[in-house]
Every structure is written in C-alpha cells, then in structure tokens.
Amino acid sequence: MPNLDKSLIADLPVFAGMTPDDLGDILKEAQSIRYPKGSSVFQQDEEAHSFFILLHGHLRVMKVTPDGQQVVVRFVNAGDLFGIAMAMARKTYPATATAVVDSLALVWPSAAWPRLVAKYPSLAVNTIQTVGSRLDDAHTRVVEISTQQVEKRVAHALLRLAQQAGRKSEDGIQIDFPISRQDVAEMTGTTLHTVSRILSGWEDQDLVESGRQKITIRNPHKLFMLAERPVD
Amino acid sequence: MPNLDKSLIADLPVFAGMTPDDLGDILKEAQSIRYPKGSSVFQQDEEAHSFFILLHGHLRVMKVTPDGQQVVVRFVNAGDLFGIAMAMARKTYPATATAVVDSLALVWPSAAWPRLVAKYPSLAVNTIQTVGSRLDDAHTRVVEISTQQVEKRVAHALLRLAQQAGRKSEDGIQIDFPISRQDVAEMTGTTLHTVSRILSGWEDQDLVESGRQKITIRNPHKLFMLAERPVD
DNA sequence: CGCTCTCTTTGCTTCAGGTCAAACAGTCTT
DNA sequence: AAGACTGTTTGACCTGAAGCAAAGAGAGCG
C-alpha cells in the first residue's frame, strides 16, 4: 500500500498544531478502509479494537435499547474522529456505526492510542475539545427533547443536518445523504408517522421539499423562525 | 492560608498516577472556597474564569432555555471535577451550578489549566475519560427520554441518585441532599405534578417514602425491577 | 416490464401525561 | 403562635402525539 497522504488529515482540528513529520508518523500506524453503503463499521458492545477518522462519506451512529428500539446518536461526517471508545476507558463501543453512503475511513488499532497520546500530548488536549463539543450537543439535545414539542425538535434537527451535511442546490439546501422519516424520528424522539405529517405540512407551506430518503430545505430562514419562535 | 492537604485529592481519578510531589505542585495553584447552600458557583454564559473540584457538598447544575424553562443537567458530588468549560475550548460556562447544601470546592484559575496539562499530560488523558463518561451519561439520558415512559424514567433517575448520593438509613437509601419534585421533574423531562403523582403511587406500594425535599428508597430492588421491566 | 420491497402518506382512535385550579402542609420569620 | 412562604398533593379536563390500519409510490431486481 502506498503511504497515505498527509494532506488528508493536516487540516483536521484533532491534529491542530502538528508538524508534517508528526502527521506522517501518526499516519504510519493507520490504514484506510472502504465501507460500502449499508455496511457496519462497528457494532454496539463489540470490543473496541480500532478508532477512526472519516475521510469521505457519512455514517449513522445509533444505539439500540434492550427492547429493540433504536435511537440515532449522531451522524459522522468527513473529517470527524469517531469510535474513540477506548480513549474514554471503555472496552466496547457504546453504539453501532453504519455507512449510509459508500465511505472511506482511516483506521488505527486501539492499541496505538496510548502510544500516540504519549508522544503527542496535544492529541489528548484536542480530543478533550472534540468530546466536549459532543457533550454539549448531547446536552442541547436533552434540553430540546425535555422542553420543546415535536415540530420544533424536528425543525432543529433538520437545520443541524443542513449545517453539518447540507449541499446547496438551486432551490435550497439538500441533506447530502439518504435519510428516511424513520431516521429523523429516531433523532428527535418521535415516530415516523409524526415526522411524515410534519414534513407534509411544511411541504404545503413550501418550507421543505422531500421525497423518498431525501429532504431539501427550501426556506432555511423561515424554518429557523419556526424552530425558534416561542410557543406564544 | 495553610497549604492544602494532598490527601484531599490523592484518590481522585483525575489525579490517578501522580506522585505526592505532583499533587503538591498542582494544589499550589488552587484555593478552597466555601459555597453556602443556595449560592451559585458559576452562572450560565458567564466567562469561564475557573475550574473546580468539589471537596464536600452537592451542587445542582442546570440549563435555562431562552423561554425560561429549566433542565437539570446533573448533580455534582464530592470528588467530581466540574466547570471545565475552558478545557473544551469554551469561553463561557454552558450551565449554572448552585450549591444545594453548604459546599466546599477547590478552585483553580482557568489560566492554570494549559500550564498544568502541559506539565502533567496524564491530566488530559484522565479528563478525556471524565468527559467521556459524562457523554455516556448524556446519551443514556437521550435514549431514555426518547424511548421510555415517564414512570420508568423517574425510577431510573432515583436509582441513579441513590447510587451517586445515597445514604443508607435504617429503612432504605436516602438521597442525602434536599431534592424537590420539581428537581426530579427537570431531570426527567416531565412536570412536578406528574412526579408527585408517581411518588404518591410508589408510596402506597411501600416502594419509597418521601416528604418535603426528601426521598428515601425503601425497596431499591423492587424499584429496579419497575425501571427495567418491559412495558409488556 | 412487471413484481417485490421498502419507504411514505394519511385517516381514525386512543391515551399518557400536560395544564389548570385549588387545597394542604411543613418550615421559617417575627 | 400567627402569618407568610415554599413545596406538595389531588382532582378534573384537555390535547399532542402515539398507535393502528391501510393504501400509495418510488426503486431495484429478475
């Protein structure tokens, strides 16, 4: 296998402040792996053998409850560090990651982590920030689910998706990976039926345009107002 | 002020693997501050001037939404590291921390953090674990709120409180700080009325005993079964 | 091309839990 | 010990969203 190109990861926040030599050294321990659409990168409760950086594509991370209900924890986008369970002293992955489109990731064996962190302490410092911002997201989500009603939660979820994985098209911002009503429901703690009704309503108001596994926000500003406006 | 005693913090997970000398060095930069019951340690959106370790007492950490609704993020117990906003590269605290009983904390200026982390890299590594386990908690909470109904959520919340801050008394485990129905409601995404009704119900079954700002779990095992049993 | 699968829409019904309202009971104050 | 708070309980009512059911509609496949 040819050496991986440093430019792949040079601009990522996790590697902020590293020299090209450092990056080369870190990359030496990684391999890149393709994950075809639908395939799983790791499974909940599986031994945390590796950690990853997504180079290309999108993953859905979800948790399954003992009684089989699913909750989408987040979507992983290009550039994101993920599967760092062992950095948090976990033996297993707390969730399942599945490719929603053909994806490509850099993969390090978990065993490399302590070694890399010892050699490059800024890696740990940057990782605290990554994990911290995820903690923030999770808290925001708790606050939202606890205090807002479904329509506003769905609006927020869509706006967030648009920001993280939106692709501008001529008539709005489209989520650039296939996403179902069920997915949105699992992100917002509701049911696909309710999401479908809400999207239908928005479609009538020309707020969004949506079809099979596809959502385009036609009027982000109006959607934002809807998401933020007080219940009055 | 006399030097702070190393034994105060020697056993805390954040300082795992440090020598007594290291601890002394780290403590040099801290002061200890008393927070009387009801006083606030820091406020949401306030500049993150300090970070803390709680030596004694209990704090309630909560977020307030723009429209004034409150959500309890967590309770801080003795030994916990908290207020580490700046380690996550935040300029301000994301929530408000208030003493629910007279409390005592070690306080470092935020500016000390980069210095300490540079000198003691294991601090960063341990902090990842701390933040990681909080991320886990937050995700667990998202999953619970999204999938379980109120009674089970309240049961889980009480069991968690009992584990973190339970004091064994002759007839059960008592939460060892004053906690109101409103608090429990804000932990579980419901209303104080609903919590009151649920606790009344449990009282009738001798599952708990509760009064003004006080909750004792008389039958933890039965409560656990209630929390875990499928809806059938 | 037509069959099958999976995703989506929509109507109808139900109900958990929120809202509103009022009374009640510890605790603290003076 | 009377009054004022603050937290708790309970009843009556209402509604947002879940559950159930069934029909539609793209997309992929043989």
- Read off the amino acid at residue B71: V
- The CATH-assigned architecture of domain A148-228 is Orthogonal Bundle (1.10)
3-state secondary structure A4-50: CCHHHCCCCHHHCCCCHHHHHHHHHCCEEEEECCCCEEECCCCECCE
User: What is the pLDDT of chain B when averaged over all its residues?
Assistant: 94
Question: Looking at residues A97-126, what average pLDDT do you find?
Answer: 96
Q: Are the beta carbons of B147 and A89 separated by less than 8 Å?
A: no
Angle of helix A112-119 versus helix A121-147 axis, rounded to 10: 110
- A10 to each of A7, A20, A117, how far by Cα in Å? 5, 8, 17
Choose, out of B69, B147, B148, B187, the residue to mutate when testing the contact with A (most A CBs < 10 Å). Answer: B147
Q: Which residue of B has its CA nearest to A144?
A: B65
Question: Is there contact between B117 and strand C, defined as CB under 7 Å from any strand atom?
Answer: no
Q: Which residues in chain A are classed under CATH 2.60.120.10?
A: 6-133
Contacts of A94 in chain B (CB under 8 A): 136, 139
> pLDDT tens for residues B137-186?
999 999 999 999 999 999 999 999 999 999 998 889 999 999 999 999 99
E strand spans, chain A: 31-35, 40-42, 50-56, 58-64, 70-77, 81-82, 96-99, 103-109, 166-169, 172-175, 208-211, 214-217
Contacts of A139 in chain B (CB under 8 A): 63, 73, 94-95, 138
User: What is the pLDDT of chain A when averaged over all its residues?
Assistant: 94
Any chain A CB within 8 A of the CB of B125?
yes
- The CATH-assigned architecture of domain A6-133 is Sandwich (2.60)
DSSP string computed for B54-76: EEESEEEEEEE-TTS-EEEEEEE
Quick one: pLDDT at residue A3?
61
> pLDDT tens for residues A135-180?
999 999 999 999 999 999 999 999 999 999 999 988 899 999 999 9
Question: Looking at residues B187-200, what average pLDDT do you find?
Answer: 98
Query: Does residue B208 contact residue B218 with C-beta atoms inside 8 Å?
Result: yes
Q: Which residues in chain B are classed under CATH 2.60.120.10?
A: 6-136
Give the Cβ contact number of residue B65 at 10 Å.
Answer: 13
> pLDDT tens for residues B143-153?
999 999 999 99
Quick one: pLDDT at residue B231?
56
Q: Is the pLDDT of residue B1 over 50?
A: no
Nucleotide nearest to A149 (CA to C1'): D16
What secondary structure letter does DSSP report for A94?
S
Q: Report CA(A70)–C1'(D10) in Å, whole number.
A: 36
Q: Which residue of A has its CA nearest to B189?
A: A146
Q: In what order do the strands lie in the sheet with B208-211?
A: B166-169, B172-175, B214-217, B208-211
Q: Are the beta carbons of B71 and A142 separated by less than 8 Å?
A: yes
| d(C-alpha A180, C-alpha A192), whole Å | 9
**Protein-proximal positions, strand C, CB < 7 A:** 7-11, 16-21, 26-27
Quick one: pLDDT at residue B17?
87
Q: Is the pLDDT of residue B101 over 50?
A: yes
**Residue with CA nearest to D17's C1' atom:** A194
Q: Report CA(A37)–C1'(C4) in Å, whole number.
A: 21
pLDDT band at A17 (very low <50, low <70, confident <90, very high): confident
Instruction: Give the lowest-confidence range in A11-20, A39-48, A200-209.
Output: A11-20
Pairing of strands A58-64, A70-77: antiparallel
Quick one: pLDDT at residue A1?
46
Q: Are the beta carbons of A88 and B136 separated by less than 8 Å?
A: yes
Query: Does residue A105 contact residue A55 with C-beta atoms inside 8 Å?
Result: yes
Q: Which residues in chain B are classed under CATH 1.10.10.10?
A: 148-228
Q: Which residue of B has its CA nearest to A130?
A: B88
Class of domain B6-136 (CATH, top level): mainly beta
pLDDT band at B7 (very low <50, low <70, confident <90, very high): confident
Q: Are the beta carbons of A139 and B230 separated by less than 8 Å?
A: no
Question: Looking at residues B194-218, what average pLDDT do you find?
Answer: 96
User: Rounded to a whole number, what is the distance in angstroms from the first to the last CA of chain A?
Assistant: 61
Q: Is the pLDDT of residue B124 over 60?
A: yes
> pLDDT tens for residues B39-61?
999 999 999 999 999 999 999 99
Quick one: pLDDT at residue A229?
80
| Closest approach of B8 to chain A, Cα-based (Å) | 24
ipTM rounded to 2 decimals: 0.94
Query: Does residue B222 contact residue B206 with C-beta atoms inside 8 Å?
Result: no
Nucleotide nearest to A153 (CA to C1'): D17
